[in-house]
Each structure stands twice: as C-alpha cells, then as structure tokens.
Chain A
Amino acid sequence: DAMVIQNPRYQVTQFGKPVTLSCSQTLNHNVMYWYQQKSSQAPKLLFHYYDKDFNNEADTPDNFQSRRPNTSFCFLDIRSPGLGDAAMYLCATSRVRGPLTSGIGNEQFFGPGTRLTVL
C-alpha cells in the first residue's frame, strides 16, 4: 500500500544534541511538509518542499532545517534541540500544492509522526 513512513517513531535526545527525523513516501507526491504538533494544539507548519523548491514559514526558527535529496525522502534536522522543541513531528505529502477547482488532489496525507523527547 502506498504510504508515508516516518522514522523513528520515538526519539529521545539531550538538550542541544542535534537530531534528524526522516520521512519517506511511496505516493510519488510532489509536495512534502513538516509539521510540529504539541499536546492539544493544531499542527503547525514548519516548511514544505514543492519538488526541490524549499519553502520556509516565516515563524519557523533557524534551529529547524530540512533536506529533500529525492522525491521519496525528506529529513527534518533540529540543530540544537531545546526543551520547548519536545513535540510530535508530522510529515505529510500532497500530490499538488495549490488549490484545484475540484478540490481533488490537494489533500494532505500524514505519516504516523515522530514523538521527540528532549532531556
């Protein structure tokens, strides 16, 4: 089955120790997104790739970086995790980025998430 896969599912790191989260997709979607979600809050978009074009949200801290070496893979790098970065990190994909008249094709599909703990 086509899907969005995230590894690891749980990540524990120490304060200030860099960490990399990975996402892969078999959907062959053009767009990949990284969200941060804290408890009882809506997902917050950090950035997205439209093909190889990187798009950073204005309020995403510099501490967060991303790489997309090919269509299937996307990585989230947290250079110096702080206690406030403990959260669920969700990867999502969509076939296209913009809206379509029909609405079809621009839904986002999520991976299971990586829960990050910072000690």
Chain B
Amino acid sequence: RKEVEQDPGPFNVPEGATVAFNCTYSNSASQSFFWYRQDCRKEPKLLMSVYSSGNEDGRFTAQLNRASQYISLLIRDSKLSDSATYLCVVRQGYQLIWGAGTKLIIKP
C-alpha cells in the first residue's frame, strides 16, 4: 500500500463544475498536509496547507479528517486555468511524502 494515495485520474470536467480530489495517507503520525499544483513541465507550487479545522481560499476548500486519515480538496466553479496535476503531500518528520497526483482537465 502506498503511503499517500490519490484518485488515479485524469478528471475531465466541464468549465464551471465542482471538482473533488481525495487523498488518504497510511501513517497516523503524519503532521502536516498540503496540496500542491503542478502544470505540465513546470515545478510544483503550493496551493494550500491543510489545517485541522479545514480552510478555504476563494474557490478552493481543503479538509482534513485525522481519524480517517483522509484529505480532500474541493474546487468550485472550475476555470480552464485550473487544468493541472494536483498533488497531495504529507509531512512525516522532516520528510514530505508525495502522492502520485491527479490530473485535472477542464473543458470549455
């Protein structure tokens, strides 16, 4: 079992739709959680840190469920520019453990 698992994707979604990404992690001692976005042939960029109480940034909402070891990312009113790969990342000590990413394709 992978330490961080994400939906395999790709997700093909019409513009304006709501998209939900799911991520599970295996190590209950994991301490911090992040969503990164990576465009094709570019570097990963931090999208959001995920806090225990959940957090929202504009159209993006992140949730953490420690009991279920589950993290989610919701994108509302999706835009063409949201097309990218979304990577779930979990910190264990000094290490970041990366999911394989879920590719999102927004169609006009």
Contact = CB atoms under 8 A, between A and B. Distances in A.
Interface stretch (A14-22, A62-70, A107-115): A107-115
Contacts, number: 48
Contacts of B46: 107-109
A98 interface: yes
Interface string A55-96: 100000000000000000000000000000000101000000
A113 B94 CA distance: 22
A106 B43 contact: no
Contacts of B91: 99, 106
Contact of B41 (A41, A43, A48, A115): A115
Interface residues of A, number: 26
A98 B44 contact: no
Q: Dominant SS at the A interface?
A: loop
Interface string B81-107: 000000100010111101111000000
A7 to B, nearest CB: 14
A118 interface: no
Contacts of A107: 34, 46, 49
B54 to A, nearest CB: 13
Contacts of A112: 42-43
Contact of B101 (A42, A97, A100, A115): A42
Interface string A35-50: 0000011110100101
